[in-house]
Amino acid sequence: MNHETSRDLYDRALSVLPGGVNSSVRATQPYPAFIERGDGGHVIDADGNRYIDYVMGYGPLLLGHDLPESVRAAIQSSMSDGPMYGAPTEIEVELAEFVARHVPSVEMLRFVNSGTEATVSAVRLARGYTGRGKIVVMQGGYHGAQESTLVAGDAENARSSSPGVPQTFAEHTIPVPFNDSEAIEEVFETHGEEIAAVLTEPLLGNTAGVPPVEGYHEQLRELCDESGALLIFDEVMTGFRVGGLQCAQGKLGVTPDLTTFAKIIGGGFPAGAVGGPAEILESFTPAGDVFQSGTFSGHPVAMAAGLETLRYAAENDVYDHVNRLGKQLRTGIADIVSDRAPGYTILGTDSMFKLVFTRAGATDIDEACIPGYRQTPDSDCFDHCPKTGADVESAETDRWDRLFRPAMKEEGVFLTANQLESQFVSDAHTDEDVEQTLEAYKEFFE
Ligand code: PMP
């Protein structure tokens, strides 16, 4: 493949954009593919190279790059009426009604513009509503570029994970290992009265998709109920992807107090939301006194794209299709690496999939983990697979970065930049795309 144009564009970008990009993960080395356009389940880069695309905008593009006519028409009609108004529009109400009809925890929504803004607002709402300060998060979870969650370490030793985040933020955040029943119990024993919320992804989508073990979310639900803390599910990635229109909470059967959304809810345009019962949501200004506001919030074009995307998914067999292909990818990859186990683990559910390179012998992951091929790859709660963020963070990111991802790119398969971030199947992907993808995985491992 020729990459000259991408290389030249990256060279120009490095002079005017820090690191040459506007979101850190995009800066794949030695230079990223600059994308010119999408085509169904594929992207075409500035040099004309075509890739099967499993990045899918990092999750928002449930329907792929060619939007169905109904979605395209709604977006174009909204745009031709004028970009935005700073006044309410009917489409915000319609999207809120649609989401409230389908997602168990949602009665009301406040729309924002991104996943980060959604989690920032949810954390402020939880603190304002409960009058408490501390937030519990999962190690290996990700909730966007926000101060309260850019925190590493553990319950005894939380520290900010980025320069620029004052240590005082970390003092209000308690990181715990995901799926660790004793650790969360202990945190509630010590800090129960101070905890405003437990904030967790239903499954750790930013750590390859580590699933919850049986009973973990139920335990979180109980502990929050007993102490008066709120349970917040960050469904920015899983929302309208895992569990279809009910989201992961519907599939898991655990109802959080608050839910954060972004990605698919904007149908490929910048949108996010915080959802929950009126009793809590009405604490937001102007109904209540927890300040929240935004010039672009409820942007009509993004609302139209989100609503028509979800309507299309509701009226067609989108979830059957993407989940079937997701399962084919997980089982297919598991077969390919089966004789190399236990060096690999396949994670994911529904339309998410990821092959994790575990570092043989370096951690107890080898004992803890029966490799993916021996599991049922579509089950949510594998008995023997990585259970915490740390289990996955010990994977060989170097081999992924330097060898695997670039090799797959040369084979025409576009994967997420990071060994730890999930990959996504869209409605536009075909059986042929999956076959071709599995051939590329096979070739690499042979
Ligand atoms: N929460 C989760 C679970 C996410 O996956 C992400 C982004 N990948 C975010 C929050 C932040 O969303 P955004 O990038 O739209 O700010």
Taking only the tens place, the pLDDT of each residue in 141-185 is: 999 999 999 999 999 999 999 999 999 999 999 999 999 999 999
| Pocket probe mutation, ligand 1, options 142, 150, 247, max atoms within 8 Å of Cβ | 142
So what's the pLDDT on residue 383? 40
Say if the ipTM goes beyond 0.90: yes
- The Cα–Cα gap between 299 and 306 comes to 11
Q: Exactly one of 10, 45, 129, 263 is catalytic; which is it?
A: 263
The residue whose CA is least distant from atom 12 of ligand 1 is 115
The residue to which tokens 């963070």 are assigned? 393
pLDDT at 243: 96
Q: Which residue has the higher pLDDT, 445 or 96?
A: 96
Q: What band does 341 get if pLDDT is binned at 50, 70 and 90? A: low
Nearest atom in ligand 1 to the alpha carbon of residue 119 is 10
Nearest-CA residue for ligand 1 atom 5 is: 237
pLDDT digits (tens, 9 = 90+) for 47-64: 999 999 999 999 999 999
116 CA to middle of ligand 1, Å? 6
Q: Which of 143, 260, 261 to mutate to test the pocket of ligand 1 (most atoms within 8 A of CB)?
A: 143
Strand partners, 153: 158
How far apart (Å, rounded) are the C-alpha atoms in residues 362 and 348?
23
What pLDDT is attached to residue 359? 53
Looking at the CA of residue 235, tell me the nearest atom of ligand 1.
3
Q: Is pLDDT above 60 for 366?
A: no
Pocket mutation for ligand 1, best pick of 112, 210, 236 (most atoms within 8 Å of C-beta): 236
Pocket test for ligand 1, best of 206, 260, 269, 421 (most atoms within 8 A of CB): 206
Q: Which amino acid is at 79?
A: M
Q: What is the pLDDT of residues 186-231, one digit of tens each?
A: 999 999 999 999 999 999 999 999 889 889 999 999 999 999 999 9
319 catalytic? Reply is no
Give the DSSP H or E segment for 327: helix 318-337
Distance CA 308, CA 269 (A): 12
Structure tokens at 35: 């994308």
Residue 169 CA to ligand 1 center (angstroms) comes to 19
pLDDT for the residue 372: 35
Give the helix/strand (H/E) hosting 115. Answer: helix 115-130
Q: Which residue out of 234, 257, 427, 433 is catalytically annotated? A: 234
Could you give all domains of the chain from N- to C-terminal order, each with its CATH number? 4-66+318-445 (3.90.1150.10), 69-315 (3.40.640.10)
Does residue 350 have an active-site annotation? no
Round to whole Å and give the CA distance between 261 and 274: 6
Residues 110-139 pLDDT 10s: 999 999 999 999 999 999 999 999 999 999
DSSP state of 285: T
Task: Please indicate whether residue 234 is annotated as part of the active site.
Answer: yes
Q: Which residues line ligand 1 (CB under 6 A)?
A: 58, 114-116, 119, 142-144, 201, 205-206, 234, 236-237, 262
Ligand 1, atom 1, residue with closest C-alpha: 143
The one catalytic residue in 51, 54, 58, 142 is 142
Q: Output the CA 443–ligand 1 centroid distance in Å.
A: 33
Nearest CA to 350 out of 256, 435, 250, 439 is that of 250
pLDDT of 363: 38
Q: Which atom of ligand 1 is nearest to the CA of 206?
A: 5
Q: Which atom of ligand 1 is nearest to the CA of 115?
A: 12
